Amino acid sequence: MLFEQRAVTRTFDTPAFRGMTFFEVQARSIINRVPDASRVPFRWTINPYRGCSHSCLYCYARKSHTYLDLDSGHDFDSKIVVKVNAPDLVRKELAAPRWRGEHIAMGTNVDCYQRAEGRYRLMPGILAALREVANPFSILTKGTLILRDLDLICEAAEVTDVGLAVSVGCADTGLWRELEPGAPSPQRRLEVCAAFTAAGLPCAVLMGPVVPFLSDSPAQLENTVRQIAQAGAASVTPIVLHLRTGAREWFFRWLSEAHPGLVPRYRALYGRGAYAPAAYQKQVTEQVKELARRYGVGRGAPGSGRRGRPRRFAPPAERREDLQTATPQQLTLL
Protein backbone atom coordinates (compact mmCIF):
# COMPACT_ATOMS: atom_id res chain seq x y z
CA MET A 1 0.00 0.00 0.00
CA LEU A 2 1.18 3.53 -0.86
CA PHE A 3 1.04 4.93 2.69
CA GLU A 4 3.39 2.28 4.00
CA GLN A 5 6.21 4.06 2.20
CA ARG A 6 6.76 6.54 5.03
CA ALA A 7 4.34 9.15 3.78
CA VAL A 8 4.53 12.55 5.47
CA THR A 9 1.07 13.78 6.44
CA ARG A 10 0.43 17.53 6.35
CA THR A 11 -2.46 19.89 6.88
CA PHE A 12 -2.45 23.63 6.23
CA ASP A 13 -4.53 26.09 8.23
CA THR A 14 -5.38 28.36 5.33
CA PRO A 15 -8.81 28.89 3.75
CA ALA A 16 -7.81 27.21 0.48
CA PHE A 17 -6.68 24.01 2.21
CA ARG A 18 -8.89 23.87 5.29
CA GLY A 19 -10.29 20.38 5.84
CA MET A 20 -7.76 18.82 3.49
CA THR A 21 -4.94 16.38 4.25
CA PHE A 22 -1.87 15.90 2.08
CA PHE A 23 0.17 12.72 2.02
CA GLU A 24 3.66 13.47 0.72
CA VAL A 25 5.16 10.31 -0.76
CA GLN A 26 8.31 9.29 -2.58
CA ALA A 27 6.97 7.59 -5.70
CA ARG A 28 8.89 4.70 -7.24
CA SER A 29 8.00 5.64 -10.83
CA ILE A 30 6.16 8.49 -12.52
CA ILE A 31 5.82 7.84 -16.27
CA ASN A 32 3.02 5.29 -16.39
CA ARG A 33 1.88 3.14 -19.28
CA VAL A 34 -1.83 3.22 -20.07
CA PRO A 35 -3.49 -0.22 -20.18
CA ASP A 36 -3.93 -1.49 -23.72
CA ALA A 37 -7.69 -1.83 -23.19
CA SER A 38 -8.09 1.87 -22.48
CA ARG A 39 -10.02 4.03 -24.95
CA VAL A 40 -7.74 7.04 -24.61
CA PRO A 41 -5.54 8.09 -27.58
CA PHE A 42 -2.18 8.00 -25.79
CA ARG A 43 0.07 5.37 -24.21
CA TRP A 44 1.89 7.22 -21.40
CA THR A 45 0.86 9.53 -18.58
CA ILE A 46 2.35 11.51 -15.71
CA ASN A 47 0.18 12.01 -12.61
CA PRO A 48 1.94 13.92 -9.82
CA TYR A 49 -1.20 13.81 -7.61
CA ARG A 50 -3.86 11.30 -6.57
CA GLY A 51 -7.20 12.62 -5.39
CA CYS A 52 -8.44 16.02 -6.51
CA SER A 53 -9.78 19.10 -4.79
CA HIS A 54 -11.91 20.03 -7.81
CA SER A 55 -14.43 17.60 -6.24
CA CYS A 56 -16.16 16.84 -9.54
CA LEU A 57 -19.02 14.50 -8.69
CA TYR A 58 -18.61 12.47 -11.87
CA CYS A 59 -14.81 12.02 -11.84
CA TYR A 60 -13.98 8.53 -13.06
CA ALA A 61 -10.72 8.52 -11.08
CA ARG A 62 -12.62 8.30 -7.79
CA LYS A 63 -12.34 4.53 -7.76
CA SER A 64 -8.53 4.74 -7.64
CA HIS A 65 -8.71 6.08 -4.08
CA THR A 66 -10.18 2.80 -2.89
CA TYR A 67 -6.87 1.14 -3.77
CA LEU A 68 -5.38 3.19 -0.92
CA ASP A 69 -8.05 2.09 1.57
CA LEU A 70 -9.69 5.52 1.22
CA ASP A 71 -13.23 6.13 0.04
CA SER A 72 -14.17 7.39 -3.41
CA GLY A 73 -16.31 10.20 -2.01
CA HIS A 74 -15.12 12.80 0.50
CA ASP A 75 -11.68 11.17 0.85
CA PHE A 76 -11.05 11.58 -2.88
CA ASP A 77 -11.89 15.29 -2.59
CA SER A 78 -9.95 16.03 0.58
CA LYS A 79 -7.12 13.50 1.02
CA ILE A 80 -4.58 14.24 -1.67
CA VAL A 81 -1.49 12.15 -2.38
CA VAL A 82 1.45 14.30 -3.50
CA LYS A 83 4.37 12.63 -5.28
CA VAL A 84 6.91 15.14 -4.09
CA ASN A 85 9.79 13.59 -6.03
CA ALA A 86 7.93 13.73 -9.35
CA PRO A 87 10.22 16.26 -11.11
CA ASP A 88 13.37 14.30 -10.25
CA LEU A 89 11.74 11.03 -11.31
CA VAL A 90 10.64 12.50 -14.64
CA ARG A 91 14.17 13.65 -15.40
CA LYS A 92 15.56 10.25 -14.45
CA GLU A 93 13.04 8.23 -16.45
CA LEU A 94 13.34 10.42 -19.55
CA ALA A 95 17.10 9.75 -19.51
CA ALA A 96 16.70 5.97 -19.26
CA PRO A 97 17.94 4.05 -22.34
CA ARG A 98 14.60 2.25 -22.64
CA TRP A 99 12.62 5.48 -23.03
CA ARG A 100 11.76 6.19 -26.68
CA GLY A 101 10.52 9.77 -26.43
CA GLU A 102 6.84 8.98 -26.86
CA HIS A 103 4.02 11.42 -26.23
CA ILE A 104 3.09 11.88 -22.54
CA ALA A 105 -0.36 13.04 -21.45
CA MET A 106 -0.94 14.92 -18.19
CA GLY A 107 -4.16 15.79 -16.40
CA THR A 108 -6.00 12.75 -17.71
CA ASN A 109 -6.47 11.05 -14.34
CA VAL A 110 -6.66 13.89 -11.84
CA ASP A 111 -5.80 17.51 -12.53
CA CYS A 112 -2.09 18.32 -12.37
CA TYR A 113 -3.08 21.97 -11.86
CA GLN A 114 -5.49 21.44 -8.98
CA ARG A 115 -5.24 23.62 -5.89
CA ALA A 116 -2.34 21.67 -4.33
CA GLU A 117 -0.07 22.59 -7.24
CA GLY A 118 -0.06 26.18 -6.02
CA ARG A 119 1.79 25.05 -2.91
CA TYR A 120 3.86 22.11 -4.14
CA ARG A 121 4.89 23.50 -7.57
CA LEU A 122 5.67 20.14 -9.13
CA MET A 123 4.75 21.06 -12.70
CA PRO A 124 7.54 23.58 -13.46
CA GLY A 125 10.16 20.92 -12.81
CA ILE A 126 8.23 18.34 -14.86
CA LEU A 127 7.79 20.74 -17.77
CA ALA A 128 11.42 21.80 -17.69
CA ALA A 129 12.53 18.16 -17.87
CA LEU A 130 10.27 17.51 -20.86
CA ARG A 131 11.46 20.68 -22.60
CA GLU A 132 15.12 19.86 -22.11
CA VAL A 133 14.82 16.58 -24.03
CA ALA A 134 12.14 17.86 -26.45
CA ASN A 135 9.69 15.18 -25.37
CA PRO A 136 6.16 15.73 -26.75
CA PHE A 137 3.37 16.13 -24.20
CA SER A 138 -0.17 17.34 -23.69
CA ILE A 139 -2.02 18.85 -20.75
CA LEU A 140 -5.73 18.71 -19.95
CA THR A 141 -6.88 20.90 -17.08
CA LYS A 142 -9.71 22.64 -15.29
CA GLY A 143 -7.19 24.70 -13.34
CA THR A 144 -6.15 28.28 -13.92
CA LEU A 145 -2.77 27.64 -12.27
CA ILE A 146 -1.48 26.57 -15.67
CA LEU A 147 -1.17 30.26 -16.55
CA ARG A 148 1.70 30.48 -14.08
CA ASP A 149 3.66 28.19 -16.41
CA LEU A 150 2.61 29.79 -19.69
CA ASP A 151 6.12 30.96 -20.62
CA LEU A 152 7.62 27.56 -19.82
CA ILE A 153 5.01 25.80 -21.96
CA CYS A 154 5.64 28.23 -24.81
CA GLU A 155 9.35 27.47 -24.61
CA ALA A 156 8.62 23.75 -24.79
CA ALA A 157 6.36 24.30 -27.82
CA GLU A 158 9.32 25.73 -29.71
CA VAL A 159 11.17 22.41 -29.54
CA THR A 160 8.45 19.73 -29.44
CA ASP A 161 4.75 19.00 -29.96
CA VAL A 162 2.65 20.44 -27.14
CA GLY A 163 -1.07 19.82 -26.81
CA LEU A 164 -3.27 22.00 -24.61
CA ALA A 165 -6.91 21.56 -23.66
CA VAL A 166 -9.25 22.86 -21.00
CA SER A 167 -12.32 20.97 -19.83
CA VAL A 168 -15.58 22.92 -19.91
CA GLY A 169 -18.70 20.80 -19.99
CA CYS A 170 -21.22 23.58 -19.58
CA ALA A 171 -21.10 27.37 -19.18
CA ASP A 172 -23.97 27.34 -16.65
CA THR A 173 -22.51 28.65 -13.39
CA GLY A 174 -25.30 27.17 -11.30
CA LEU A 175 -24.61 23.68 -12.57
CA TRP A 176 -20.85 24.23 -12.15
CA ARG A 177 -21.35 24.97 -8.45
CA GLU A 178 -23.30 21.73 -8.06
CA LEU A 179 -21.12 19.38 -10.10
CA GLU A 180 -17.59 20.85 -9.78
CA PRO A 181 -17.61 22.84 -6.52
CA GLY A 182 -13.83 22.96 -6.11
CA ALA A 183 -12.92 23.86 -9.69
CA PRO A 184 -12.56 27.34 -11.19
CA SER A 185 -15.65 28.60 -12.98
CA PRO A 186 -16.20 27.70 -16.65
CA GLN A 187 -15.56 31.32 -17.61
CA ARG A 188 -12.18 31.35 -15.85
CA ARG A 189 -11.21 28.15 -17.65
CA LEU A 190 -12.12 29.72 -20.96
CA GLU A 191 -9.91 32.65 -20.02
CA VAL A 192 -7.07 30.11 -19.86
CA CYS A 193 -7.91 29.05 -23.40
CA ALA A 194 -7.95 32.68 -24.54
CA ALA A 195 -4.61 33.41 -22.87
CA PHE A 196 -2.83 30.53 -24.60
CA THR A 197 -4.42 31.48 -27.91
CA ALA A 198 -3.15 35.03 -27.46
CA ALA A 199 0.31 33.65 -26.69
CA GLY A 200 0.32 31.79 -29.99
CA LEU A 201 -0.47 28.28 -28.78
CA PRO A 202 -3.68 26.55 -29.90
CA CYS A 203 -5.87 25.39 -27.04
CA ALA A 204 -8.70 22.90 -27.47
CA VAL A 205 -11.81 22.56 -25.33
CA LEU A 206 -13.16 19.23 -24.19
CA MET A 207 -16.84 19.97 -23.72
CA GLY A 208 -17.30 17.35 -21.09
CA PRO A 209 -19.20 16.12 -19.55
CA VAL A 210 -22.44 16.99 -21.23
CA VAL A 211 -24.83 15.93 -18.47
CA PRO A 212 -28.11 14.38 -19.64
CA PHE A 213 -31.25 16.33 -18.72
CA LEU A 214 -29.16 19.00 -16.94
CA SER A 215 -26.85 20.56 -19.52
CA ASP A 216 -27.98 19.10 -22.84
CA SER A 217 -30.81 21.42 -23.85
CA PRO A 218 -30.35 23.21 -27.20
CA ALA A 219 -30.07 26.55 -25.42
CA GLN A 220 -27.43 25.30 -22.99
CA LEU A 221 -25.37 23.67 -25.72
CA GLU A 222 -25.53 26.82 -27.80
CA ASN A 223 -24.52 29.07 -24.91
CA THR A 224 -21.54 26.87 -24.10
CA VAL A 225 -20.30 26.55 -27.68
CA ARG A 226 -20.70 30.30 -28.22
CA GLN A 227 -18.47 31.05 -25.23
CA ILE A 228 -15.96 28.43 -26.36
CA ALA A 229 -15.78 30.12 -29.76
CA GLN A 230 -15.35 33.55 -28.14
CA ALA A 231 -12.36 32.17 -26.21
CA GLY A 232 -10.64 31.31 -29.49
CA ALA A 233 -10.64 27.55 -28.95
CA ALA A 234 -8.90 25.56 -31.68
CA SER A 235 -11.55 22.82 -31.51
CA VAL A 236 -14.36 21.52 -29.35
CA THR A 237 -14.95 17.86 -28.51
CA PRO A 238 -18.27 16.99 -26.83
CA ILE A 239 -18.08 14.19 -24.28
CA VAL A 240 -21.26 12.79 -22.76
CA LEU A 241 -21.21 11.95 -19.05
CA HIS A 242 -20.00 8.45 -18.27
CA LEU A 243 -20.37 6.87 -14.86
CA ARG A 244 -17.90 4.18 -13.88
CA THR A 245 -17.80 2.37 -10.56
CA GLY A 246 -16.83 4.80 -7.80
CA ALA A 247 -18.10 7.85 -9.62
CA ARG A 248 -21.44 6.20 -10.34
CA GLU A 249 -22.35 5.70 -6.68
CA TRP A 250 -21.20 9.20 -5.67
CA PHE A 251 -23.04 10.84 -8.56
CA PHE A 252 -26.29 8.95 -7.95
CA ARG A 253 -26.16 9.87 -4.26
CA TRP A 254 -26.01 13.54 -5.22
CA LEU A 255 -28.66 13.14 -7.93
CA SER A 256 -31.12 11.52 -5.52
CA GLU A 257 -30.75 14.51 -3.18
CA ALA A 258 -30.54 17.37 -5.67
CA HIS A 259 -32.69 16.11 -8.54
CA PRO A 260 -34.67 13.07 -7.33
CA GLY A 261 -37.06 13.27 -10.26
CA LEU A 262 -34.21 12.47 -12.65
CA VAL A 263 -33.13 9.24 -10.95
CA PRO A 264 -35.50 6.95 -12.93
CA ARG A 265 -34.44 8.58 -16.21
CA TYR A 266 -30.77 8.08 -15.35
CA ARG A 267 -31.29 4.47 -14.39
CA ALA A 268 -32.95 3.93 -17.76
CA LEU A 269 -30.15 5.73 -19.62
CA TYR A 270 -27.24 4.15 -17.73
CA GLY A 271 -28.87 0.91 -16.63
CA ARG A 272 -26.65 -1.28 -18.80
CA GLY A 273 -23.25 0.25 -18.15
CA ALA A 274 -21.11 3.32 -17.68
CA TYR A 275 -21.92 4.97 -21.00
CA ALA A 276 -25.03 6.58 -22.39
CA PRO A 277 -26.54 4.89 -25.48
CA ALA A 278 -24.68 5.49 -28.74
CA ALA A 279 -27.73 7.17 -30.27
CA TYR A 280 -27.81 9.77 -27.49
CA GLN A 281 -24.08 10.42 -27.82
CA LYS A 282 -24.43 10.86 -31.59
CA GLN A 283 -27.30 13.31 -31.13
CA VAL A 284 -25.25 15.51 -28.78
CA THR A 285 -22.19 15.30 -31.04
CA GLU A 286 -24.14 16.39 -34.11
CA GLN A 287 -25.69 19.31 -32.24
CA VAL A 288 -22.32 20.52 -31.00
CA LYS A 289 -20.74 20.02 -34.42
CA GLU A 290 -23.35 22.21 -36.07
CA LEU A 291 -23.03 24.88 -33.36
CA ALA A 292 -19.23 24.84 -33.74
CA ARG A 293 -19.61 25.52 -37.45
CA ARG A 294 -22.13 28.27 -36.83
CA TYR A 295 -19.95 30.10 -34.32
CA GLY A 296 -16.66 29.47 -36.12
CA VAL A 297 -14.80 27.40 -33.56
CA GLY A 298 -11.24 27.09 -34.78
CA ARG A 299 -11.24 30.11 -37.08
CA GLY A 300 -9.39 32.22 -34.54
CA ALA A 301 -6.81 29.57 -33.70
CA PRO A 302 -3.16 30.66 -34.00
CA GLY A 303 -1.67 30.19 -37.43
CA SER A 304 1.46 31.43 -39.13
CA GLY A 305 1.91 34.26 -36.63
CA ARG A 306 2.29 32.02 -33.61
CA ARG A 307 5.39 31.77 -31.49
CA GLY A 308 7.89 29.16 -32.66
CA ARG A 309 7.19 26.42 -35.20
CA PRO A 310 3.60 25.21 -35.75
CA ARG A 311 2.77 22.43 -33.31
CA ARG A 312 -0.20 20.14 -33.02
CA PHE A 313 -2.49 20.76 -30.07
CA ALA A 314 -3.76 17.16 -29.85
CA PRO A 315 -1.91 13.97 -28.91
CA PRO A 316 -0.33 12.46 -32.05
CA ALA A 317 -2.55 9.36 -31.90
CA GLU A 318 -5.77 11.35 -31.80
CA ARG A 319 -7.58 11.73 -35.12
CA ARG A 320 -9.60 14.87 -35.91
CA GLU A 321 -12.39 15.40 -38.44
CA ASP A 322 -11.61 19.09 -38.89
CA LEU A 323 -10.75 22.24 -36.97
CA GLN A 324 -14.33 22.82 -35.91
CA THR A 325 -15.03 19.66 -33.91
CA ALA A 326 -12.90 16.68 -33.05
CA THR A 327 -14.02 13.10 -33.46
CA PRO A 328 -16.28 12.21 -30.51
CA GLN A 329 -14.72 9.81 -28.03
CA GLN A 330 -15.39 8.86 -24.45
CA LEU A 331 -12.10 10.22 -23.17
CA THR A 332 -10.77 10.10 -19.65
CA LEU A 333 -12.03 13.13 -17.73
CA LEU A 334 -10.54 15.01 -14.80
Q: Region 285-312: what's the mean pLDDT?
A: 73
Cα(275)–Cα(282) distance, integer angstroms: 12
Give 302's pLDDT tier (boundaries 50, 70, 90): low
Ramachandran assignment for 61, one of left (phi > 0), alpha (psi -120 to 50 degrees), beta (any other): alpha
DSSP 184: P
Residues 6 or more apart whose CB falls under 8 angstroms from that of 64 comprise 50, 109, 246
Whether residue 315 has pLDDT greater than 50: no
pLDDT of residue 139: 98
Whether residue 321 has pLDDT greater than 50: no
pLDDT of residue 35: 83
Give 36's pLDDT tier (boundaries 50, 70, 90): confident
Whether residue 253 has pLDDT greater than 50: yes
Q: Region 179-202: what's the mean pLDDT?
A: 97
Whether residue 125 has pLDDT greater than 50: yes
Cα(176)–Cα(291) distance, integer angstroms: 21
CA nearest to 236, candidates 277, 294, 185: 294
* DSSP alpha helix (H) spans, the chain: 74-78, 86-94, 117-120, 123-132, 150-157, 173-179, 186-198, 218-230, 247-258, 263-269, 278-295
Whether residue 119 has pLDDT greater than 80: yes
Of the listed ranges 37-51, 54-68, 147-161, 261-275, the least confidently predicted one is 37-51
Cα(259)–Cα(278) distance, integer angstroms: 24
pLDDT of residue 5: 55
Whether residue 319 has pLDDT greater than 50: no
Give 40's pLDDT tier (boundaries 50, 70, 90): confident
pLDDT of residue 325: 39
Whether residue 158 has pLDDT greater than 90: yes
